[in-house]
Amino acid sequence: MQSAPEDQPAMPDTTTPDTTTPDTTTPDTATDYPAADFPADLPLTVLTPAQAQAAGTTFRELGVAEKICEALEAAGIVTAFPIQELALPIALGGQDIIGQARTGTGKTLAFGIPLIERLDGVPGRTPAAPRALVVVPTRELAIQVADDLRTAASRSDVNVVTLYGGRAYEPQIEALATVDIVVGTPGRLLDLARQHLKLSQVSALVLDEADKMLDLGFLPDVERILKLTPTDRQTMLFSATMPGEVVTLARRHLRQATHVRAEQHDATSLVPSTEQHVFRAHQMDKAEVLVRVLQAEGRGLTIVFCRTKRTCDQVATTLTQRGFAAAAVHGDLGQGQRERAMRAFRSGKVDVLVATDVAARGLDVDDVTHVVNYECPEDDMAYLHRIGRTGRAGRAGVAVTFVDWRDMQRWTLINDALSLGHPDPPETYSTSEHLFAELGIPPTASGILPRAQRGRLGLQAEDLEDIGETGRIRSSAARGTAADGRGNGSRSDGGSRGNGRGDSDRGRGESGKGRDSGRSRSESGRSESGRGGAAESAGSPDREAGRRGRIRRRTRSGTPIPAGQAGQAAAGQLAPSAGAAPASATAPAGEGQPATTRRRRGQRGRKSRAAGQAAVASGAGAAASGPAQPAGATGPAAR
């Protein structure tokens, strides 16, 4: 066991290259800081796996409370892992700590046991005011961490509450009445902290999977959460890797923290007990290859990772059609569906979980024997966390990666960064002999799972829990109201297509320029004045019943023509009087002034324009020599 000298200065000398603060403008790629380059003011303690296995230290020997030891023994947990053996003595003493270890090595209990022992039997429980806070990046990880803490606190008087998005607020707010430890995601914590959650009494805070928070863009939210907590709190930060931004966050908010690592820096980041296989598979043959891999001998629960949500759904559907009990987990699914799939996977009703990288961090499911990278990971860190879902807690596992031809450049970078020894994966198809030989696939395996091997109940056997999801309409009345608001273009407003356009369409119809009014004229008859017809039909029963009704009328200068004279008026349009004077010369403004002709849409309106102008001129002469226009007459002149 190695430790930094006690006479080391409290702050590093900025003139020394090895002790300068890492630049926060480092690239987005997560770089694992070596022990020599980590800030010198963070004491470093390293324990190799061989030393930990030789020690075989139990939790009682590490000074853990008897209640917690009994609860862990009841769950079959007796011996501490390396990161737990290093972190527990420091964390139980109330000091700040930075824990770094490979995925699947027991970091949850490394910070969970000190939190439970700190709060057990200590009075001071206040509603909506937790005394310990654990911040995690994903919802699935929040559920898992809370379950592990409840297992360790099963014989202690400590209440653990989980806060994450996708669920209704009310049950979570009610659970805060008797809270001691809160495990939550940054978004929901900030939402509840505005009104219902009080963080002023937090005495211990944990940041779990801090590098994943960086990848998801949660560090600004984490900074806001830290500012809401007391400055004299105990802070513990745990992560598999230490990017520069995470180190900067630790230096800003941790006080004289001790940095512990569960292995030497030159040790590989890969889990030694995981057997890795890499194949170059064609995109059109990946599904067939996957079906053969899932028929390998000794295969238990399997996680298939995809890069996109669409591919995730397609693969899950294909496997279900081929006879496998498969379920999908990705961000487009509701929280109830995601939890349902995870429950079915943990209970064994589903043995193939197809997921995006949302399930690649922190999830610990027993008996996961195979992990398949259906698509090449983005980088080496994504590869590490994906295959880290198998081979956990010393168990053996198999990791299979499919690399397409277009992904070879990305795979070369991953292979070189992790020294995997697979620079040129062999070209593999569903009928390749080396595929069957390396993975132990029976020669009789085909593209469909035999019925004799379909013993899983499937996703349908798992009930969908009503968790009161947010962001969707659940009642039929609300759906009906929403449908009415969206679709009031169902001809209930005089033929208008949408509720928001109904008034404007009616306005254009009255002036004779709307598309809907044009269709109404063509169906119910064409009038010389679109204004009068629209005005009288506005309140007609036909309009209320559905399509707007139009009345076919004949007018002369705004005055209705008797039915017997309609034919004469039509004949007069074709033979106007030669001596008729223009309306502007014989009639004063406002008295018998002809209606302004308008250009109509369509071939029919253009052909009758000349005839209409002649009819107007003829009607103007007759109006000048005839009686005055009666009161109450309709038309443009009267208006």
Contacts of 186 (CB under 8 A, 6+ apart): 135, 137, 213, 218, 221, 222, 225
CATH homologous superfamily, domain 29-261: P-loop containing nucleotide triphosphate hydrolases (3.40.50.300)
Domain ranges of the chain: 29-261, 274-461
| Residue with the larger pLDDT of the pair 30 and 607 | 607
Residue 319 CB neighbour total at 10 angstroms: 23
Whole-prediction pTM: 0.60
pLDDT in tens, 494-515: 333 444 344 434 434 443 444 4
pLDDT bin (cut points 50, 70, 90) of residue 139 is confident
pLDDT number for residue 28 = 36
Q: Which structure tokens are listed for 567? A: 């034919």
d(CA 218, CA 216): 6
Q: Do residues 185 and 142 touch, judged by C-beta distance below 8 A?
A: yes
User: Phi and psi of 111, rounded to 5°?
Assistant: -105, -20
Task: Classify residue 381 as exposed, middle or buried by CB count within 10 Å of its CB (0-12, 13-18, 19+).
Answer: buried
Residues 126, 212 contacting (CB under 8 angstroms): no
User: Residue type at 411?
Assistant: W
Distance CA 66, CA 74 (A): 12
The amino acid occupying position 195 is Q
- Mean pLDDT confidence for 173-192: 94
Q: Which amino acid is at 538?
A: A
Does 633 have pLDDT greater than 90? no
Q: Which amino acid is at 176?
A: L
Q: Which of the two residues, 197 and 634, has the higher pLDDT score?
A: 197
pLDDT average, residue stretch 550-562:
62
CA–CA distance from 610 to each of 527, 582, 606 (Å)? Answer: 16, 15, 8
Q: How far apart are CA 409 and CA 405, in angstroms?
A: 9
Judge whether residue 379 has pLDDT over 70.
yes
Tokens read off for 107: 């970091």
% of the chain beyond a pLDDT of 90 = 42
82-105 tens-digit pLDDT: 899 999 999 999 999 999 887 777
Q: How confident is the model at residue 59 (pLDDT cuts 50, 70, 90)?
A: very high
- Percentage of the chain exceeding pLDDT 70: 61
pLDDT-wise least confident of 132-146, 454-468, 545-559: 545-559
3-state secondary structure 230-246: CCCCEEEEEECCCCHHH
Task: Specify burial of residue 403 (Cβ count, 10 A radius: 0-12, 13-18, 19+).
Answer: buried
Distance CA 65, CA 73 (A): 12
φ, ψ of residue 17 in degrees (nearest 5): -60, -35
Least confident of 9-13, 35-39, 383-387: 9-13
- Count how many Cα atoms sit within 13 Å of the Cα of residue 67 in the half-sphere of its side chain: 17
pLDDT of residue 247: 87
CB 161 within 8 A of CB 182: yes
pLDDT at 332: 87
- Return the bridge partners of 370, or none: 302, 398
For residues 189-210, give the mean pLDDT: 93
pLDDT at 324: 95
Mode of pairing for the β-strands spanning 132-135 and 274-281: unpaired
22-31, 40-49, 359-368: which has the minimum mean pLDDT? 22-31
Average pLDDT, the chain: 74
Residue 554 has pLDDT above 70, yes or no: no
Local structure of residue 113 (DSSP, 8 states):
H
Q: CA–CA distance from 460 to each of 236, 305, 463 (Å)?
A: 41, 22, 7
Alpha carbon separation from 60 to 65, 67, 79 (Å, rounded): 7, 10, 9
Q: Is it true that 29-261 and 274-461 share their CATH fold?
A: yes
Total residue length of the chain: 639
Instruction: Tell me the mean pLDDT in the region 524-541.
Output: 42
The confidence score (pLDDT) of residue 339 equals: 87
Predicted confidence (pLDDT) per residue in 582-615, tens digit:
444 444 444 444 445 555 555 555 555 666 666 6
Whether 544 shows a pLDDT value over 70: the answer reads no
What's residue 215's pLDDT?
77
Asked if the model's pLDDT at residue 572 lies above 70, the reply is no
**What residue ranges in 150-248 does DSSP mark as E strands?**
160-163, 181-184, 204-208, 234-239
H or E stretch at 82: helix 82-92
- Has residue 118 got a pLDDT over 80? yes
3-state secondary structure of 2: strand
Query: The tokens 């569960």 sit on which residue?
Result: 262
Encode pLDDT of 425-455 as tens digits.
999 999 999 999 999 999 999 999 999 999 8
pLDDT at res. 151? 94
Query: What local confidence, expressed as pLDDT, does residue 216 receive?
Result: 78
C-alpha of 439 from chain center: 35
- Mind giving me the DSSP string for 221-287? HHHHHHHTS-TTSEEEEEES---HHHHHHHHHH-SS-EEEESS-TTS-SS-TTEEEEEEEE-GGGHH
Q: What's the CA gap between 250 and 227, in Å, rounded?
A: 14
DSSP three-state, residue 334: coil
End-to-end CA distance of the chain: 101
274-461: CATH topology is Rossmann fold (3.40.50)
Beta strand 397-403 with 274-281 is parallel
CA distance 109 to 222: 22
Cα(272)–Cα(395) distance, rounded to whole angstroms? Answer: 10
Banded model confidence at residue 140, pLDDT cuts 50, 70, 90: confident
Strand 352-355 versus strand 301-305 pairing type: parallel
Look at residue 349 in the predicted model and tell me its pLDDT: 93
Residue 487, pLDDT above cutoff 70: no
- 8-state DSSP, 1: -
Mean per-residue pLDDT, 353-366: 77
Pairwise CA distance, residues 386 & 390, whole Å: 8
Rounded Cα distance, 40 and 12, in Å: 6
What is the arithmetic mean of pLDDT over 260-280?
Answer: 75
Helix pair 566-574, 609-625: axis angle to 10 deg:
120
pLDDT at 620: 52
560 DSSP β-pair partners: 555
The Cα 338–Cα 328 span in angstroms is 8
Q: Tokens 């630790």 correspond to what residue?
A: 250
For the residues 188-216, what does the mean pLDDT come to? 91
Query: pLDDT tens digit string along 291-303?
Result: 999 999 999 999 9
State how far the alpha carbon of 543 is from the alpha carbons of 242, 280, 484, 505, in Å.
Answer: 71, 68, 19, 14
Query: Predicted confidence band at 392 (pLDDT cuts at 50, 70, 90)?
Result: confident
* φ, ψ of residue 346 in degrees (nearest 5): -65, -35
What is the sign, positive or negative, of the torsion defined by CA atoms of 371, 446, 351, 462? Answer: positive
- For residues 508 and 464, which has the higher predicted lDDT (pLDDT)? 464
Q: Among residues 64, 167, 46, which one has the least CA distance to residue 110?
A: 64
How far, in Å, CA of 86 to CA of 103, rounded?
16
Average the pLDDT over 355-373 and give the result: 81
